Amino acid sequence: MSGLILHEYAPSGNCYKIRLVAAHLGIPLERRGYDILRGETRTPAFLSEVSANGRIPVLQAGDDYLPESGAACVYLAYGSALIPHDRFDHADMLRWMFWEQYNHEPNIATLRFWRAFIGEANLSEAQRAALPAKEAAGHDALALMEAHLARTDWFAAGRFTLADIALYAYTHVAGEGGFDLSRYPAVEAWLARVAALPRHVAMGA
């Protein structure tokens, strides 16, 4: 697999997921960065040439463009050990990936973006009003992960899969959004297991 281009914003956990999958599988990626704080994914050129949705990441394979981090991860990992072959295990991996985007990312990643990149003083009234609910939902997500990881080392199939990569990306930087991970020792132990795997790369690499 060659000639792949990742259109990304490097601090984004969703973009990091794709880089992490590529690193584990030894797949080279060309990286093209965009500053979302400057609106660089909303320009006419980006909207017409990369993604009409105006969001990143987008994985480019030749003349084809694949938005959505989960889809890009599956594309890269197709046929690899990161995707279980067993029917239930495969579906369970997807369950955690869908859950991450629906329950985890909208709260944990959003608070990280608001607090670490926008700054609380710069939030709108609506954003400030949403803080308590997003904090509560983020802790609910971490508590669910804690309960699961207290019983098993990984999220699906009893081994490291795309489910772990999807959840690692924003969980390991949850502290930047104000979440105290020391409250979740099983989550912290899992984060350490992921980071210790061969070929792991840090978000800032």
| Residues of the chain below pLDDT 50 | none
Position 205 scores a pLDDT of 86
- In tens, the pLDDT along 59-86 reads 999 999 999 999 999 999 999 999 999 9
Query: Secondary structure of the chain: what % helix, strand, coil (to 5)?
Result: 60, 10, 35
Integer Cα distance of 59 and 75 in angstroms: 9
Position 1 scores a pLDDT of 67
Q: What is the dihedral of CA 135, 194, 23, 107, to 10 degrees?
A: -10
Provide the residue count of the chain. Answer: 205
Relative to beta strand 4-8, strand 30-33 is parallel
Integer Cα distance of 172 and 197 in angstroms: 15
Q: What are phi and psi of 7, to 5 degrees?
A: -85, 120
What does each C-alpha distance from 39 to 36, 149, 171 come to in angstroms? 5, 38, 26
Integer Cα distance of 176 and 154 in angstroms: 24
Contact, 59 vs 128, CB < 8 A?
no
Integer Cα distance of 129 and 86 in angstroms: 44
- In tens, the pLDDT along 138-165 reads 999 999 999 999 999 999 999 999 999 9
Helix H or strand E encompassing 33: strand 30-33
Cβ neighbours for 42, distance < 8 A, ≥ 6 positions apart: 54
